[in-house]
Amino acid sequence: MVGDRIKQARKAAGLSLRTLADRAGVSAMAISKHESGKSVPSSRVLLALANALGVRTDYFFRPAKFELQEVKYRKHAGLPAKALRQIGGDLVEQIERFIELEQLLPNGPVQAFKLPENLRASVSTLDEVEDVATELRNAWNLGVDPISMLTDLLEERGVEIFQSRAIPGDFDGMAATVDHIPVIVVSSKAPGDRQRFTMAHELGHLVLAGRLADGIDDEAASNRFAGAFLAPASEVRKELGEHRTWLEPRELAALKKAYGLSMQAWMHRAKDLGILPEARYVEMRKFFNAHGWNKTEPGEPYPPERPHLFEQLVFRALAQDLISESKAAELLRLSLSEFQEKRNMQGAQAAAH
């Protein structure tokens, strides 16, 4: 068990055996034997490994109960296998802490994810994906207004959202299930509009699973769902009108700010709904590419979202004397002094002054 935990922590940190050996002052051969279970590390070695890996020594004795299932990455073709292993290891470590905390709290504070029963059973065209997004919004009583915090909405509905420090800035995220719990991971380095589209896209996979007719690409369907869920067709037509030959960049920037949907996604929505003809859409894409806006859109970036549920539950457990300050700091991956500053809201007080 200890060896598996050492290996998992090393993967989560993105370290090779040699790099960890250099940092811990332990031979790579010895670490390899510890990971394979051929030898048991001494308390001195465990302390050195814990310091090098940024974990507490009791981490190595925590049972490894969870495995990622149905893992799906977005736009990962250029990432080496090492980076993918690091992302997966970091996610498992976060999930373990979340579930450990949840088991300490009474009354099951996190509801199980469950789709509404009245969603249509089959989808035969991409246009019908729009209807599914509308049905889900109606079932969740969202109306047609912009969703201010998609992260909070999904966490309330039982989808666990994580931001991995292991995900590089040009990588959108991933989705998986752990013990039948849907999990979505987004990059903490990505702008908010990319985070939101990734979350809505992965929600689309969950909602559309088993509903798509043969021949419908599930990635295209999930992209269509994401756009329709974040910007319903009725509101897109109100904002843009029924027919357009061009969309002004400043107009798109204002809509991005209002809905948390990128300028390019708005162009795509207009094409999907027949508002912007295909040829004019292609012209606009070329215009964006010529200005470099296909990579970095003009104007202020949409602010990133951050999951709040886990931190909220840590402080709830602390307030109910279910965990100590030391345990709370461990769960939040902070030193005790950093946690105490956070608990005393010293940063918030400084900002106020």
DSSP class of residue 302?
P
Q: Is residue 28 part of a domain?
A: yes
**Who's near 182: CB < 8 A, 6+ residues apart?**
113, 158, 159, 160, 175, 206
Q: Is residue 223 part of a domain?
A: yes
Given this model, what pLDDT does residue 56 score?
Answer: 73
Q: Whole-model pTM?
A: 0.81
Q: Is residue 340 part of a domain?
A: no
Mean pLDDT of the chain: 87
Q: Is residue 299 part of a domain?
A: yes
Given this model, what pLDDT does residue 294 score?
Answer: 94
Pick from 210-219, 248-257, 328-337: least confident? 328-337
The whole domain housing 197 covers 66-322
Report whether 251 contacts 213 (CB < 8 A): no
Q: What pLDDT, in 10s, does the model give residues 224-258? A: 999 999 999 999 999 999 999 999 999 999 999 99
More confident residue, 87 or 101: 101
Q: What pLDDT, in 10s, does the model give residues 35-92? A: 888 898 888 988 898 888 877 777 777 765 666 667 676 655 466 777 777 777 777 7
If one counts the domains in the chain, the total is 2
| Total count of residues recorded for the chain | 353
Highest mean pLDDT among 92-96, 114-118, 175-179: 114-118
Nearest to 14 by CA among 82, 73, 74: 82
Same domain flag for 151 and 298: yes
Nearest to 170 by CA among 89, 263, 77, 253: 77
Structure tokens at 327: 């345990």
Percent of the chain clearing pLDDT 90 (strictly above)? 54
Same domain flag for 161 and 301: yes
Q: Is residue 344 part of a domain?
A: no
Same domain flag for 118 and 105: yes
**Residue 8's CATH number:** 1.10.260.40
- Residue 15 pLDDT class (50, 70, 90 cuts): confident
Q: Whole-angstrom Cα distance, residue 9 to residue 326?
A: 20
Same domain flag for 47 and 178: no
Given this model, what pLDDT does residue 353 score?
Answer: 46
Rg for the chain (alpha carbons), in Å? 23
Q: For residue 258, what is the enclosing H or E element?
A: helix 249-259
Q: Is residue 43 part of a domain?
A: yes
Report whether 159 contacts 113 (CB < 8 A): yes
**Residue 170's CATH number:** 1.10.10.2910
Q: What pLDDT, in 10s, does the model give residues 122-154? A: 999 999 999 999 999 999 999 999 999 999 999
Structural domain ending residue among the three candidates 10, 38, 64: 64
Residue 283 has pLDDT above 90, yes or no: yes
Whole-number Cα distances in Å, 239 to 163, 243, 248, 269 = 32, 11, 12, 12
Same domain flag for 182 and 95: yes
Structure tokens at 55: 């974990």
Q: What pLDDT, in 10s, does the model give residues 18-27? A: 999 999 999 9
